[in-house]
Structure 1
Amino acid sequence: MPTFLSAGVIALVVAWGLLFPASLGATFDQALSAITRNFGWFYLWVVLALVILCAILAFSRYGTLKLGAEDEEPEFSLGSWFAMLFAAGMGIGLVFWGVAEPISHYTSPPPGITAGTPEAANAAMRYSFFHWGLHPWAVYSVVALAIAFFQFRRRQPALISAVTSALPSRTVQRLAPLVDTLAVIATAFGVAASLGIGALQINSGLGTMFGVPVSTTAQLVIIAVTTALFITSAVSGVERGVKWLSNANLILAGLLALAVFLLGPTVAIIDTMTNTLGGYLSDFVRMSLRMTPFRDSTWVSGWTIFYWAWWVSWSPFVGLFIARVSRGRTIREFVIGTVLAPTFAAVLWFSVFGGTALTLEIAQAAPIAQAVKADVSTALFSMFSALPMGPVMSFIATVLVIVFFVTSGDSATLVLGMMSARGNPNPSARSKILWGLLIAGIAGSLLLSGGLKAVQTATIVFALPFTVVILLMAVALWRGVRDDWHEEDRRERALKRQLRQMAAR
Structure 2
Amino acid sequence: MTTSASSTAASNATRETGARRFGDPIVLGLSIGFILLFLGLSLYDIEWTAGLISSGFAWTASTLGSFFQLLLLLTFLIGMGVAISPAGSAKVGNLNTPELSTFKWLSIIMCTLLAGGGVFFAAGEPVYHFVVTPPVFSTEAGTAEAVAPALAQSFMHWGFLAWAILGTLSAIVLAHAHYVKGQPLQPRTLLYPVFGERIMQGWFGGVVDAACVIAVVAGTVGPIGFLATQVSFGLHELFGFPEGYGTQLVILAVLAGVYVTSAMTGIHRGIQILSRFNVFLALAIAAVIFIFGPTLFLTNAYTQGFGEYINSFFAMATVTSVTAEGWWMQWWTIFFFAWFLGYGPLMALFVARISRGRTIRQMILAVGVMAPVATTVWFTLLGGSGIFYQLTGVIDLSEALNNFQFDVATLTIAQALPGGSLMALAILMLTTIFVATTGDSMSYAIAVVSAGHDDPEPIVRAFWGVAMALMAAVLLYMGAGQISALQQFIVITAIPVSLVLLPSLYMGPKSAYAMAREQGIVPPKGEVALVGETTGSPQSLSGK
Within 2, Cα distance between the matches of 1:251 and 1:83? 9
1:17-67 deviation digits (Å, cap 9, x = unpaired): 233221111001000101111111111111111111111110111101111
Aligned-partner residue type, residue 354 of structure 2: V
**Moved >4 Å (runs of 4+):** 168-174, 491-499
**SS of alignment partner, residue 357 of structure 2:** coil
Q: 1:292 to 1:399 in 2, by over 3 A?
A: closer
Contact 1:199 1:223 in 2 (8 A): yes
| Aligned counterpart for 1:194 among listed residues 223, 245, 250 | 223
Q: How many Å apart are 1:285 and its aligned residue? A: 1.1
Match of 1:107 in 2: 131
Moved more, 356-365 or 470-479: 470-479
Task: Give the helix-richer structure, 1 or 2.
Answer: 1
Match of 1:57 among 82, 93, 98: 82
Q: Using a 3 Å threshold, how does the CA distance of structure 1 residues 397 and 41 change in structure 2: closer, same or farther? A: same
Alignment of 1:401-480 (within 5 A): 401-421=431-451, 423-450=452-479, 451-480=482-511
2:161 aligned to 95, 119, 135, which one? Answer: 135
Look up the match of 2:172. 145
Give the 3-state SS of the residue equivalent to 2:365 in structure 1: helix
User: Which has the larger displacement, 142-151 or 23-32?
Assistant: 142-151
Residue 17 (1) aligns with residue 68 (2): no
Contact 1:99 1:354 in 2 (8 A): yes
Mapping 1:270-289, distance limit 5 Å: 270-289=299-318
Q: Using a 3 Å threshold, how does the CA distance of structure 1 residues 157 and 354 change in structure 2: closer, same or farther? A: same
Alpha-carbon distance in structure 2 between the residues aligned to 1:461 and 1:340? 28
Matched, 1:126 2:147: no
- Asked if the contact 1:149–1:477 (Cα under 8 Å) also holds between the matched residues in 2, the reply is no
Distance 1:332 1:498 in 2: 18
Q: For structure 1, which segment, 45-54 or 91-100, has the greater mean C-alpha deviation from structure 2 after superposition?
A: 91-100
CA pair 486-107 structure 1, distance change in 2 beyond 3 A? same
- Answer yes or no: is 1:80 the counterpart of 2:80: no
Does the 8 Å CA contact 1:106/1:121 hold for their aligned counterparts?
Answer: yes
Residue of structure 1 equivalent to 2:11: none
Q: In structure 2, do the counterparts of structure 1 residues 324 and 218 end up closer, same or farther at CA, with 3 Å as the change threshold?
A: same
Contact kept, 8 Å, 1:230 with 1:409, in 2: the verdict is yes
Match of 2:120 in 1: 96
Q: Partner letter of residue 448 of structure 2?
A: M
The one-letter code matched in structure 1 to 2:342 is S
> Offset of 1:494 from its aligned partner?
11
For residues 281-340 of structure 1, give each alpha carbon's deviation from its aligned partner in whole angstroms, at most 9, with x where no partner exists.
111111111125453542122211111101111223322222221111111010011111
Offset at 1:94? 2.2
Counting only pairs closer than 5 Å after superposition, residues 55-454 of structure 1 correspond to structure 2 as 55-69=80-94, 72-111=96-135, 112-141=138-167, 142-167=169-194, 175-291=204-320, 293-295=322-324, 297-373=326-402, 375-421=405-451, 423-450=452-479, 451-454=482-485
How many residue pairs match? The answer is: 497
Distance of 1:263 and 1:250 partners within structure 2:
20
RMSD: 2.3
Trace 1:477-492 onto structure 2 (pairs within 5 A).
Answer: 477-486=508-517, 488=520, 489-490=522-523
Match of 2:476, SS?
helix
- State the alpha-carbon separation in 1 of the partners of residues 209 and 217 from structure 2: 12
Q: 1 CA distance for matches of 2:105 and 2:221?
A: 24
- Cα distance in 2 for partners of 1:479, 1:497 equals 21
The Cα shift of 1:167 comes to 3.7
**AA partner of residue 86 (structure 2):** R
Does the aligned pair in 1 maintain the 2:350–2:441 contact within 8 Å?
yes
Q: Mark the runs of 5 or more structure 1 residues left unpaired by the alignment.
A: 500-505
Residue pair 1:85, 1:321 contacting (<8 A) in 2 also: no
Contact 1:164–1:476 at 8 Å: present in 2 too? no
Question: What is the identity, as a one-letter code, of the residue corresponding to 1:183?
Answer: C
Say whether the 8 Å CA contact 1:3–1:184 is kept in structure 2: no
Structure 2 residue ranges without an equivalent (≥5): 1-25, 537-544
CA contact 1:371–1:382 (8 Å) conserved in 2: no
Q: How much does 1:273 deviate? A: 0.4
Does the Cα contact within 8 Å between 1:146 and 1:474 map onto a contact in 2? Answer: no
